[in-house]
Amino acid sequence: MPLVFTSDVSLKPYNTLGIDVPAARWVCLDQLADLPALLADADFQAQPHLILGGGSNIVLTQPFTGTVVKVGLRGIRCVAEEGDAVLVRAAAGESWHDFVRHTLAQGWYGLENLSLIPGSVGASPIQNIGAYGVEVKDRIHTVEAVSLTTGATRCFTAAECRFAYRDSIFKQEEAGKWLITAVTFRLSRVPVLMTGYGDICTALAQAGVIAPTPLAVSDAVIRIRADKLPNPAVLGNVGSFFKNPVLPATQATALSAHYPDLPCYPQADGQVKCAAGWLIDHAGWKGKTLDGAGVHARQALVLVNLGAASGEAVLALAQHIQADVLARYGVSLEIEPLVY
């Protein structure tokens, strides 16, 4: 079936914040065979374009005047086995959480701590998603992508992706230049569990789990996230709205002296990661609202759409928080989702 372009489509169902803005043109890419036709489309090349996965890491502040491409590519398969290691390739349009649970069902371990993170497989390397001591960069083998200008294909190694904290080459110098089509992960048939985070230990203990399995860790993470974070289907959000700030050791030490309860985590490079949620909470923002946008009542790191907020309102609330935290603590908070 040829590509079908639709005009004036509301993006509200396609972003987890539930922001209601229109796209001038919309198309769903369900198969790689249609990619040449997309790249040959004159309007696609001449106008702005937005590649959309699960829409869980985006703030839409205005109508999109070009073409929105919803990536619907599907497919998961084991492509190689090397001893206990397993290389698993997943198409970009696969649901991230469903993919994680599928790997566990197959006995392919390593992604269990990343359970219940919203979004698609193709978006996971862009953001270098992470949770509970694991970042996806630790599991990625290669990222397959197609140039949006030339149509050339490229297989990026993990090193070439230049992963950093919630960052990659796809958010920096290569931003907007590639459509990720698939990601291959290096997983293991032998579990190496990461249960050092207190929340996971507590959740496992509460469930009566003495000898945890990868599936039990995944279940624990699901319970933790479901308890802490609002369901986007019920209350629009993009999860954590701000990155945890990484500070020079001297600044973190000075902050800790004034605020001994501030959670801080020393990094391998000598810097210190501090909890953005603590800073926002103790600045008094939890539960505050502005023009239909709000700070979640149970998790200060999460901004929510209370029903009919605009993207501009969500962004304005975020900017007020940034200014206040900077004035109070001397810490600059960086917005995690992409803003359009």
Active site residues: 166, 240, 336
The span from the CA of 127 to the CA of 161, in Å, is: 11
The span from the CA of 218 to the CA of 216, in Å, is: 5
207-241 per-residue burial string, b: 16 or more CB within 10 A, e: under 16: eebeebebbbbbbbbbbbbeeebbebeebbbbbbb
The span from the CA of 168 to the CA of 83, in Å, is: 29
Secondary structure in 3-state letters for the chain: CCCCCEEEEECHHHCCCCCCCEEEEEEEECCHHHHHHHHHCHHHHHCCEEEECCCCCEECCCCEEEEEEEECCCCEEEEEEECCEEEEEEECCCEHHHHHHHHHHCCCECCHHHCCCCCECCCHHHHCCEECCEEHHHCEEEEEEEECCCCCEEEEECHHHCCECCECCCCCCCCCCEEEEEEEEEEECCCCCCCCCHHHHHHHHHCCCCCCCHHHHHHHHHHHHHHHCCCCCCCEEEEECECCCEECHHHHHHHHHHCCCCCEEECCCCCEEECHHHHHHHCCCCCCEECCEEECCCCCCEEEECCCCCHHHHHHHHHHHHHHHHHHHCCCCCECCEEC
Cβ atoms within 10 Å, residue 20: 16
